Amino acid sequence: MNLEELDREYVLGSYARNYTNFVRGEGARLYDEDGNEYIDFAAGIAVNSVGHAHPRLSRAICEQASKIIHVSNLQLIEPQAKLAARIVETSGYDMRCFFANSGAEANEAALKIARKYGEKSFERKRYKVITLKHSFHGRTITTVKATGQASMHKDDFSPYPDGFTYVESVDAVYEAIDDETVAVMIELVQGEGGVQPFERDEIKELCNFLKSRELLLIVDEVQTGVYRTGEFLASQLYEIEPDIITLAKGLGGGVPIGVAMTRLKDIFEPGDHGSTFGGNYLSTTAALSVMDILQREQESGALAERIEYFSSYLERVSLSMPEYFDSAVGLGLMRGLRAKSAEIQSAVVKKAFDERLIILKAGRNTVRFLPPLTIDREEMDEGFKRFEKALSTL
C-alpha cells in the first residue's frame, strides 16, 4: 500500500484530507516528497508560530528529549513552573496556570473553573455560560456544545451537556444573563467564525459590566494568543482584564500544549482537575523557546512591520477585486478576505494550492491567512505572487 491507501485503510475518516505528503519545512516553506516547494500561509492552523524547523526551537526540543521528556504532574516540573511564570509576567495579569495538551482541553478547564466558581460564590448555584454565534471552542462534547454554531451540534453525538446560551452579538449578552448565569465566553477575534474582530469599546463595556455583577469573563485566546494579534494576548490589545484566558495553538510552535490561566488562583484543590501529559518537560521547554523567539520579534518591531506589510497587501487585494471580495478582516497576522460566495472562497483556496500556496477556509465565506509570525519579506512576496496568479485564473 502507498501512504494514501494506508491512511484511508487505517485512520478514521475525520478529515477531508489533501494527500500531499510534506517531508520537510524551513521557515514559511514546505517541501513535498517530490521536492515541490510550497509557501505556507496557514502555519498548521496558527500552530507553527515560528515557522518550520526553527533552529532554536529544534535545538531546545532535541536537547530536552535527550534528558527527560515526561514525568507525571505528581512531581515538580522545572520548565512548567518557569513557563507559568513567563506567561503570567508577560501577560501582566495576576493569575495562575493549568497546563493541558490542546485548546479544547484548556477550554474544558476554563469551564470547570467557572462551574466551581458558580457553585462556591453564590447562594444559589450558577452554571450557565453565554457564548456567541459563530464562535468555536473545541470538539469535545462540552466544548462543541459551547461552540455557537448549530451545525456543530449534530444529533449523532447528543445528548450534550446543558448550560450554554448563544447570542447573536455582544449587545445581546446583557439580556441573556439570568440568575443561573456564571460566565460569558468569547473570542476577541472569531477565527473559525470568519476572522471577525469585536469592537474594543463594546468588549471593555462588557468586561466592566460582568465585574460589577461578579460574573466571569472567559476569553478564548487559543488562536489569538501568543503574539498572533501583535501583542502577547489580544486581551492586552483590548485593554481588558479577563477572569480566565485560554491558550494553545502557537504556544508550542507545533508541540501540543494548552493553558488555562485564571485570576481565581485558589479555585482548584488537588484532585479537582488534571492531565497526564499536560505541561510535561518537552512541551513546556518548547513553549519557553517559542516565547523567547517571539518576544524578541515583537520587541524589535519586526513583528509589527510584518503585520503592516501583510495586512496592507490584503487590503489592496480587497479594494482591487470587488467582484470577488467584500472586505479584508482580522487583526495582526490573523487575517482574512471575505469572499462574495462560498463558491468563490472554495475556488480561491483550491487554486492557491495549485500554485503551491497554502491558505485556509473560515466561516462567513472567509479566505483565511495565518502565516508564521517569523515569516520574512521574501516569503511573503513569493506567497503574494502565487496568490495573484491563483486569482488570475478564477
* Side chain identity at residue 101, one-letter code: N
255 closest CA partner among 66, 67, 48: 48
DSSP 21: -
State whether 269 and 362 are in the same domain.
no
Q: Into how many domains does the chain fold?
A: 2
Distance separating alpha carbons of residues 106 and 245, to the nearest angstrom: 9
Query: Which residue range(s) make up the domain with 20?
Result: 1-25+38-46+302-340+352-369+385-394
State whether 317 and 267 are in the same domain.
no
CB 39 within 8 A of CB 29: yes
58 three-class SS: helix
334 closest CA partner among 250, 260, 243, 219: 250
State whether 320 and 287 are in the same domain.
no
State whether 362 and 294 are in the same domain.
no
Strand residues in 203-270 grouped as ranges (E): 216-220, 244-247, 258-262
Task: Indicate whether 202 belongs to any domain.
Answer: yes
Task: Indicate whether 378 belongs to any domain.
Answer: no
Task: Indicate whether 225 belongs to any domain.
Answer: yes
C-alpha cell of 161? 451537556
Q: State the burial class of residue 235 (Cβ atoms within 10 Å of its Cβ: 0-12, 13-18, 19+).
A: buried
State whether 140 and 282 are in the same domain.
yes
80 closest CA partner among 61, 108, 99, 67: 99
In this prediction, residue 161 carries a pLDDT of: 96
Q: Cell 515557522 identifies what position? A: 51
Give the HSE-up count for residue 344: Cα atoms under 13 Å, Cβ half-sphere.
17
Q: What is the CATH number of the domain that holds 125?
A: 3.40.640.10
State whether 320 and 274 are in the same domain.
no
Mean model confidence pLDDT for the chain: 98
In this prediction, residue 15 carries a pLDDT of: 95
Task: Indicate whether 283 belongs to any domain.
Answer: yes
Question: pLDDT, tens digit, for every residue of 327-369?
Answer: 999 999 999 999 999 999 999 999 999 999 999 999 999 999 9
Distance separating alpha carbons of residues 207 and 203, to the nearest angstrom: 6
Res. 38 pLDDT band, cuts 50 70 90: very high
356 closest CA partner among 381, 329, 338, 383: 383
CA 94 to chain centre: 22
Residues in the chain: 394
pTM of the model: 0.97
Task: Indicate whether 224 belongs to any domain.
Answer: yes
* Side chain identity at residue 272, one-letter code: D
Q: What is the CATH number of the domain that holds 321?
A: 3.90.1150.10
Distance separating alpha carbons of residues 319 and 37, to the nearest angstrom: 29
Distance separating alpha carbons of residues 227 and 130, to the nearest angstrom: 26
How far from each other are the two terminal CA atoms of the chain, in whole angstroms? 36
Question: pLDDT, tens digit, for every residue of 68-120?
Answer: 999 999 999 999 999 999 999 999 999 999 999 999 999 999 999 999 999 99
Calculate what percentage of the chain has a pLDDT beyond 90. Answer: 100
